């Protein structure tokens, strides 16, 4: 089969892989028509088969898209588009891109402890809400597990990958492949292990496994089991009550989990709505007037927020200070007339945009600058000092607002321009190169970012020195990108000397030093 192209349907650009599941691989993508990031699920080419099987698989895939699109709910990612590319032999589904943290990562962050009862109940209640709507379609998820649950940045829980769900109606062909067994052993209900029929209560068993792990830090059955022994355990063994691991667990919550994990589906709660109602006493109370403290960078999202602040505005975020690359000074009013602008309007727009950026109103700042940069460039020249300052300010606003796609080419152009004006050693040109690298990484272009970062780091060493603030910052980011790309060995090799350099530059208790020390500890290495 063909490799996944960089651009499909002449519309969606593929940037980086996000995850791989039983039916296919999910990529981060960009919709060039609507100017937004998306998730693109491409069905595994080896499952499509040869030409004789392609039509059948295409029909299954279309069914998957139609079913998933019918689950219209805030806790299920929206489906935007689906298509069959017969020329390339590819099937793809375009969905809402969820920015957040997988539930599995959140659970792991709490080990060896467990999530708070409020947080775990908030996750489970939101999953119940999604399941109740899906079961009404009717669709059974069949593969509910922490890896298929995402907690978005605003605390909303998203249940992913309903694409392997089976339609309950007997007159419709199941989406699953003949002879394949879907689901993950650690969360699979007994009836699915036995290849029997699944129903909504099968999802409730998997939900019980997920909630058990969130509340205790332990899987229902030990991860030390072989896959076969683990499947037998789900069929035959009675799980330990979760209160064995967490003695403070309320009795009725302990009983709810045991009810969800009943071997016979008839002994489980009847519906997801019933489970939700039993979780309600453990959900946080709504308090819209309470302070909405912004999460610090890197903090885990809070799944209790949708209950504490129902229908609240988007979470506040700390306003990032402009970087040194983006610190243009206020420009002086020009005596030269600028056609299309009133006298003094250029300086006024500059000051207004800087004030808007300080207030966190980045889109408005970009709008102000977009109104004045073209006429100023036409009148004063594209490389005039005043136009350059305005463009640096605009790049600043785009970068801080997270619009890396528009900021990236602007930084590249400004770096080229500043190098022409002041030479290749110009510090602002170099810092613009650095910001361009950060934009590449934000867009998921890790390989390109690392390649360019190596060049920028060499320049930093020549211009600013090995231990300059910018060089140290870039070294840390590069190590993080390597970790995200799966190159832990090289990341550790870079983090160990970086820890020593940060300790010497900032001290042992500096946030950057502690961050690298913690990373090395998690990776199983001393600080060297």
CA distance 476 to 481: 9
- How many C-beta neighbours within 10 Å does residue 24 have? 26
CB neighbour list of residue 31: distance below 8 Å, 6 or more residues apart: 11, 12, 37, 38, 80, 94
Query: Which pairing describes strands 24-31 and 12-20: parallel, antiparallel, or unpaired?
Result: antiparallel
Name residue, tokens 């950057």: 512
CA distance 369 to 387: 10
Query: Which pairing describes strands 12-20 and 7-8: parallel, antiparallel, or unpaired?
Result: antiparallel
Of 10, 46, 143, 426, catalytic: 143
CA distance 8 to 24: 16
CA distance 276 to 283: 10
CA distance 115 to 108: 10
Question: To 10 degrees, what angle do helices 469-484 and 511-522 make?
Answer: 20
Strand ranges for 319-379 from DSSP E: none
**Which residue, among 314, 312, 313, 319, has the nearest Cα to 297 in the 3D structure?**
319
Q: Look at residue 22 and give its three-state secondary structure.
A: coil
| Contact of 41 with 26, CB cutoff 8 Å | yes
Question: Would you give the DSSP letter of residue 293?
Answer: P
Q: What share of the chain is helix, strand, coil (3-state, %, to 5)?
A: 50, 10, 40
Q: Look at residue 436 and give its three-state secondary structure.
A: helix
Q: Look at residue 307 and give its three-state secondary structure.
A: helix
CB neighbour list of residue 387: distance below 8 Å, 6 or more residues apart: 373, 376, 377, 380, 381
Name residue, tokens 């970068």: 399
Three-point CA angle 331, 332, 335, nearest 5°: 130
Query: Catalytic residue at 143?
Result: yes
Helices and strands (H, E) in the chain, number of each type? 19, 11
CA distance 260 to 246: 18
Q: Look at residue 13 and give its three-state secondary structure.
A: strand
| Contact of 269 with 207, CB cutoff 8 Å | no
Question: To 10 degrees, what angle do helices 469-484 and 427-442 make?
Answer: 20
The token pair at 324 is 């040194």
Q: Look at residue 60 and give its three-state secondary structure.
A: helix
Strands of the 7-8 sheet, one edge to the other = 7-8, 12-20, 24-31, 36-43, 90-96, 79-85
Name residue, tokens 């209640």: 125
Catalytic residue set? 143
């Amino acid at each position: 089969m063909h490799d996944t192209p960089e651009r499909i349907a002449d519309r969606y650009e593929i940037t980086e892989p996000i995850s791989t599941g039983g039916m296919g691989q999910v990529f981060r993508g960009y919709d060039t028509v609507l100017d937004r990031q998306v998730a693109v699920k491409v069905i595994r080419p080896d499952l499509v088969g040869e030409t004789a099987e392609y039509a059948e698989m295409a029909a299954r895939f279309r069914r998957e898209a139609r079913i998933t699109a019918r689950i219209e709910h805030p806790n299920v990612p929206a489906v935007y588009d689906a298509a069959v590319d017969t020329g390339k032999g590819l099937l793809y589904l375009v969905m809402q891109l969820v920015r957040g943290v997988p539930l599995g990562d959140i659970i792991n962050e709490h080990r060896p402890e467990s999530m708070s009862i409020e947080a775990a109940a908030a996750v489970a209640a939101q999953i119940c809400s999604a399941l109740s709507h899906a079961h009404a379609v009717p669709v059974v998820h069949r593969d509910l597990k922490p890896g298929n649950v995402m907690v978005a940045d605003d605390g909303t829980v998203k249940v992913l990958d309903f694409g392997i769900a089976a339609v309950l109606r007997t007159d419709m062909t199941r989406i699953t492949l003949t002879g394949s067994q879907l689901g993950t052993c650690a969360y699979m209900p007994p009836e699915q292990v036995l290849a029997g029929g699944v129903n909504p209560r099968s999802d409730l068993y998997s939900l019980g496994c997920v909630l058990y792990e969130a509340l205790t830090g332990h899987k229902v059955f030990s991860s030390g089991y072989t896959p076969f022994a683990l499947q037998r355990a789900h069929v035959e063994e009675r799980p330990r009550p979760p209160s064995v691991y967490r003695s403070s667990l309320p009795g009725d919550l302990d009983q709810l989990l045991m009810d969800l994990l009943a071997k016979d589906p008839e002994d489980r709660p009847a519906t997801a709505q019933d489970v939700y109602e039993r979780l309600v006493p453990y959900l946080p109370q709504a308090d819209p007037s309470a302070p909405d403290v912004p999460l610090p960078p890197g903090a885990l999202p809070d799944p209790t927020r949708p209950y504490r602040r129902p229908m609240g505005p988007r979470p506040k975020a700390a306003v990032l200070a402009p970087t040194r690359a983006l610190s243009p000074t206020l420009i002086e009013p020009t005596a030269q007339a600028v056609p299309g602008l009133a006298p003094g309007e250029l300086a006024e727009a500059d000051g207004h945009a800087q004030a808007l950026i300080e207030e966190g109103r980045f889109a408005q700042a970009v709008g102000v600058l977009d109104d004045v940069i073209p006429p100023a460039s036409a009148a004063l020249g594209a490389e005039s000092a005043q136009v350059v300052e305005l463009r640096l300010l605009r790049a600043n606003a785009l970068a801080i607002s997270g619009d890396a796609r528009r900021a990236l080419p602007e930084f590249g152009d400004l770096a080229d321009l500043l190098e022409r004006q002041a030479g290749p050693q110009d510090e602002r040109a170099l810092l613009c190169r650095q910001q361009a690298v950060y934009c590449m990484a934000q867009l998921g272009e890790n390989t390109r970012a690392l390649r360019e970062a190596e060049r920028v780091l060499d320049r930093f060493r020549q211009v600013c020195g090995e231990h300059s603030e910018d060089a140290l910052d870039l070294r840390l980011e590069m190590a993080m990108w390597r970790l995200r790309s799966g190159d832990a060995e090289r990341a550790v090799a870079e983090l160990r000397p970086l820890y020593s350099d940060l300790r010497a530059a900032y001290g042992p208790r500096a946030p950057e030093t502690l961050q690298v020390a913690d990373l090395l500890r998690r990776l199983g290495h001393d600080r060297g």
